[in-house]
Structure 1
Amino acid sequence: MSGITSICVYCGSSNSVSEKHLDQATLLGQRAAEKGIEIIYGGGRVGSMGRVADGALTGKGRVTGIIPEYLQRFEVGHTGVSELVVVDSMHTRKMQMFERSDAFCILPGGLGTLEEFFEVATWKQLGMHDKPIILINLENFWTPLTDLIDHQIECGYLRQKPEDIYSVVNSIEEVFQTLESLPDSRVKPDITLL
């Protein structure tokens, strides 16, 4: 896919997680910077959020953080990014992250990360966009989620094959290989429907 100039990274904001996960977040930012791909993310300076931003910045990449005013009041915003956009709500944050991104990468994370994944995956399932969505399954973190989705299919609640909605990779290097192998986007999202 030649048209990828920005990726949205959904991930956790806790430092109390696997150091390997934090290191891989740094690597994702570094690799994106090397390829001239902008990072769009939630604007935080801690956990995987901070690490992916710092990785890209170390590689002289562009990083745009989008953070709601509510969280910015707690001083968790990353003031060293290329652009830090402070918005009025979580909904506005998610919409701006969607609009500015050509693809979505999901690192390990908590409830917020799950919610973000399910939102863009649902929109894709409904045909509202066809931007790539990549689950980065570090140390099999997302395997229980993919097993659940397989169970939903078996029970008749989901008709599409998972690979028609998202890709699963096990390493950061596979992220960029996958992006390069996917066809260019054909659906122009109708933001009024999202």
Structure 2
Amino acid sequence: MTKETTTTTTKTVCVFCGSSFGTKKSYSDSATKLGQLLAERGYGLVYGGGTTGLMGLIAKSVFSNGGSVHGVIPDALVSKERADPDKIEAINKELLNNVDNHVGATPIDETKYGKTTIVPDMHSRKKMMALEANSGFVAMPGGFGTLEEIMEITTWSQLGIHKRPIVLFNVDGFYDCFIEFLNKAIENGFISKTNGNIVSIATTPEEVIEKLESYVVPQGRFNLTWQNELKD
């Protein structure tokens, strides 16, 4: 465990996802498979630092397959999103359908989940993850936090703060209604057609990798100068 920021030198992807497992086994299976593929393709992972839910699954998968993992978590959330390793199996088996299945103790097991940086607040967490994600961002199923994180990073792209790939991993149609909303916003003139291409859609772990590696920065984004934000 460290409280210092280190410089990222490898390809690194930031994955936003739930600290719960959700109600479908496909969510867990997809997180595990995506973690495996990221590691096999030489990507490191930066994520929200939890050991529970989809967060814990993808971190453990990347790390166990030889990839680097950096979890970034606010001090206030350590007791909420870090579960005792001895409880993880019980959580997986018995609390799969419970949205409160991320209640746990506070140990941080770096032998299973990689390096952890504890930060003072949510803003520090998101900025550190964004700075390290030199190869893109992926949103898996999640709740309020996941949606807020992927939309902020999408807005940053629209504003010209960065030009990195952004992929919405639509596992089992989880994001269908949200994609419909985005199309409605384009249709009604609130998002331009070109900026609608800032977010790529993938339905399988393999397609997530393909979308990351074939991403083309859309035309029509704002060409603004940002002094204290991400540098691309």
C-alpha RMSD of the superposition: 2.5
| Deviation per residue, 1:139-189 (Å, 9 max, x gap) | 1111111100111111111124355311001100011112222358xx9x9
Q: Which residue, 166, 182, 195 being the options, matches 1:149?
A: 182
Q: Which residue, 11, 19, 33 being the options, matches 2:17?
A: 11
Describe the shift of the 1:162–1:170 C-alpha distance in structure 2 as closer, same or farther (beyond 3 A).
farther
Query: Does the CA-based 8 Å contact 1:14-1:47 persist in structure 2?
Result: yes
Q: Which amino acid is the alignment partner of residue 134 of structure 1?
A: V
Q: Which residue, 153, 161, 178 being the options, matches 2:211?
A: 178
Query: Does the CA-based 8 Å contact 2:16-2:149 persist in structure 1?
Result: yes
CA distance, structure 2, for counterparts of residue 61 and residue 87 of structure 1: 23
CA distance, structure 2, for counterparts of residue 161 and residue 176 of structure 1: 22
Q: Which amino acid is the alignment partner of residue 127 of structure 1?
A: G
Q: Quote how far apart the aligned CAs of 1:193 are.
A: 4.5
CA distance, structure 2, for counterparts of residue 159 and residue 13 of structure 1: 33
| Deviation per residue, 1:16-43 (Å, 9 max, x gap) | 4311101110111111111111010000
Describe the shift of the 1:134–1:66 C-alpha distance in structure 2 as closer, same or farther (beyond 3 A).
same
Q: Which amino acid is the alignment partner of residue 52 of structure 1?
A: I
Describe the shift of the 1:124–1:75 C-alpha distance in structure 2 as closer, same or farther (beyond 3 A).
closer
> Are 2:100 and 1:94 aligned?
no
Which residue number in structure 1 is paired with residue 77 of structure 2?
A: 71
Q: Quote how far apart the aligned CAs of 1:191 are.
A: 6.2
Runs of 5+ consecutive residues of structure 1 not aligned to the other structure = none
CA distance, structure 2, for counterparts of residue 108 and residue 75 of structure 1: 16
CA distance, structure 1, for counterparts of residue 195 and residue 14 of structure 2: 20
User: Structure 1 stretches (4+) deviating beyond 6 angstroms?
Assistant: none
SS in structure 2 of the partner of residue 192 of structure 1: coil
CA distance, structure 2, for counterparts of residue 20 and residue 148 of structure 1: 24
Which residue number in structure 2 is paired with residue 82 of structure 1?
A: 114
Q: Which residue, 51, 59, 62 being the options, matches 1:53?
A: 59
TM-score by length of 2: 0.75
Which is greater in Rg? 2
Query: Does the CA-based 8 Å contact 1:125-1:160 persist in structure 2?
Result: no
> Are 2:153 and 1:120 aligned?
yes
How many residues get paired?
Answer: 191
